[in-house]
Amino acid sequence: MFNETAKSEGKGQVAPYVPTRPPLQDRFGRTFDYVRIAVIEQCNLRCTYCMPEEGVQFKEKDMVLRSNEIERVIKVLASMGVKKVRFTGGEPLVRPDIVDLVKYAVNTPGIKGVHLTTNGILFPKFAEPLRKAGLTGVNISLDTLHEDKFEQITRRKGIGKVMESIEMAVALGFPRVKVNVVLMRGFNENELIDFCELTKDKAVTVRFIEFMPFDAHQIWESGQHFASAADLTGQIESHYKGIKEASGTRTEHHIYQAPGYAGKIAVIPAFTRSLCGNCSRIRVTADGSIMNCLYSEEPYLLKDVMRKGGTDEDVEALFRKAFGEKHIDGFESKKAASIKAKVNVSDISRNRSSMTQIGG
């Protein structure tokens, strides 16, 4: 049961939560009220654009944030006005305490939405407990509607489970169900309209995400697979004549609904970065670092602060430092990282072996 409602049930109206600490803002006046927490690096798939097939150096268990540390981060951030939590990974459903983490977040005063990004393989097993725990949104990643291509992209079987997950998420009435598609030229670009057609009968948002250069094999580098948001919106608009703009989240810059369709279509310019001005995201990596931007390489070692006996005020201070130093956009973040590392800007994301440390 969703927290604000739960608290008001049978007890009359509950006063809205007032954060006890000032909001988290940067020097440009932007407010950050949405945290994405990668709870694990491990994954049960090996998507080619994310992880190598073998030889991934996962951190030892003790190097990853423990449940009580994740809970503390949520509690402190909620007291700073954070309203939305997303659990991601790696594959968050591989972490044994994920339902308890969701419950904790749902019951934290001030948190209004708790979401999860999953590859959908284990979701059918967890769907009901997650719904009962109060999860408000689920993003299910699926890059193709064809079994053979699914195996090619993920290096594993399981498309049936992912399709089942989408159906279950809708049937169980999760308030927000989204399908994340990384659109790549030469891989799945020809499925753009087939994916859009999923929104005809299903009340889901299909989101096309630009391919970003955080892939272990650097297939991004070849330049052959990148499809820009501008390309994708062009194709959508020319296929669905008269398609209307719809409302979406801050990063769903291009969002549409085809006439008479149940769901929505969104395009996320994750690489071309026209969304930076609207960013409200705080990222916490599985090994407990704060990231003030997806393209930043500055380490803010939150886990160390907590494990060295830091107080909640120390945790708050590190978030303020990280966001006090945030750059205006992802291009500037990358430039700053290249100057510090004394390498070319184009070499910056190369150091990162995978999105599994960051969680997307």
Residues that bind ligand SF4 (CB under 6 A): 43, 45-47, 50-51, 89-91, 119, 141, 355-356
Three-state DSSP state, 282: strand
Applying the rule CB under 6 A, the residues between 42 and 81 that interact with ligand SAM are 43, 49-50
Can you tell me the distance from the alpha carbon of 208 to that of 219, in angstroms, rounded to the nearest whole number? 18
Shortest distance, position 97 Cβ to ligand SAM, whole Å: 17
- Tell the residue number behind the tokens 């070499």, with chain if given: 347
DSSP secondary structure, 227-276, as one string: --HHHHHHHHHHHSTTPEE----TT--EEEE-TT-SSEEEEE-TTT-TTG
Of 37 and 78, the one with the shorter C-beta distance to ligand SAM is 37
Shortest distance, position 142 Cβ to ligand SAM, whole Å: 9
- Give CA 10 to chain center in angstroms: 35
Q: Of 212, 265, 279, 291, which lies in the binding site for ligand SAM, with binding defined by CB under 6 A?
A: 212
- For the chain, the C-alpha Rg in angstroms (whole number) is 20
Type of residue numbered 164: E
Shortest distance, position 245 Cβ to ligand SAM, whole Å: 23
Q: Of 79, 119, 235, 296, which lies in the binding site for ligand SAM, with binding defined by CB under 6 A?
A: 119
Of 182 and 206, the one with the shorter C-beta distance to ligand SAM is 182
Q: Where are the alpha helices (DSSP H) in the chain?
A: 3-8, 67-79, 98-106, 123-133, 147-154, 159-171, 192-197, 229-239, 302-307, 312-324, 330-341
Which of ligand SF4, ligand SAM, none binds 46 (CB below 5-8 Å, type-dependent)? ligand SF4
Which of ligand SAM, ligand SF4, none binds 323 (CB below 5-8 Å, type-dependent)? none
- Tell the residue number behind the tokens 């904790």, with chain if given: 104
Binding status of residue 169 toward ligand SAM by CB under 6 A: no
Binding site for ligand SAM (CB under 6 A): 43, 49-50, 88-89, 91, 117-119, 141, 180, 182, 209, 211-212, 214-215, 270, 355-356, 359-360
